[in-house]
Chain A
Amino acid sequence: NAGVTQTPKFQVLKTGQSMTLQCAQDMNHEYMSWYRQDPGMGLRLIHYSVGAGITDQGEVPNGYNVSRSTTEDFPLRLLSAAPSQTSVYFCASRRKTGPQETQYFGPGTRLLVL
């Protein structure tokens, strides 16, 4: 199993550009989520999904869109990038059996918005 994969690893954007961060998992996990990590702030939840066709907002959803058309993929879209979105983004997945399930993280995408 590849686990949770994220592409790209690094990205530089100009203010106002749009892009999609890709996330895929091959563990048949129903539950997927996106976090951003900023210095001194820990991990903050952006959006999450408990299954195909179902998404919900996390703590910091503004400026981001998600969709979940398949179990495997959970892309994160930045509609109009802003410098405040410079961050490291992590995708994670787990079985939705319950909160005791281990959450697996991808390697992250480093995004710089100029």
Chain B
Amino acid sequence: AQSVTQPDIHITVSEGASLELRCNYSYGATPYLFWYVQSPGQGLQLLLKYFSGDTLVQGIKGFEAEFKRSQSSFNLRKPSVHWSDAAEYFCAVGASGNTPLVFGKGTRLSVIA
């Protein structure tokens, strides 16, 4: 069965600084990988996903993520963080067929002036 680890529970960055959120997965075959964002009191919104092709994936709101098979990682990056990026971020992995998505426990991002 697949699993996801997000090592950082909480990260604080300054506005304008770069951001990298870590995600490690465990799955024997090629995984289907997702990053979702949850603003306070809201549902989850898809930022980006990877399932084949180019290992650098572009998403919405200026985010990107890179799939590294050798490291079993799918880290989320943004070159310059805005105050509105403060939210909780979830990495998720899917397997083939109709196996449900498995989510990490999330990383809460705080942005300071």
Which A residues are closer than 8 A to B by beta carbons?
4, 31, 33, 35, 40-45, 48, 50, 58, 90, 92, 96, 98-100, 102-108
If A40-B9, A105-B44 touch, does A45 touch B100 (CB 8 Å cutoff)? yes
Contact between A42 and B43 (Cβ–Cβ < 8 Å)?
no
Interface residues of B, CB < 8 Å — how many?
26
Residue pair B94, A99 in contact (C-beta under 8 Å): yes
Q: When A90-B43, A99-B32, A99-B94 are in contact, do A42 and B103 touch as well, CB less than 8 Å? A: yes
Q: How far is the CA of A33 from the CA of B92 in the complex (A)?
A: 15
B105 at the binding interface (Cβ < 8 Å): yes
Interface residues of B (CB under 8 A from A): 9, 32, 34, 36, 42-46, 49, 51-52, 90, 94-106
B residues less than 8 Å from A4 (CB atoms): 43
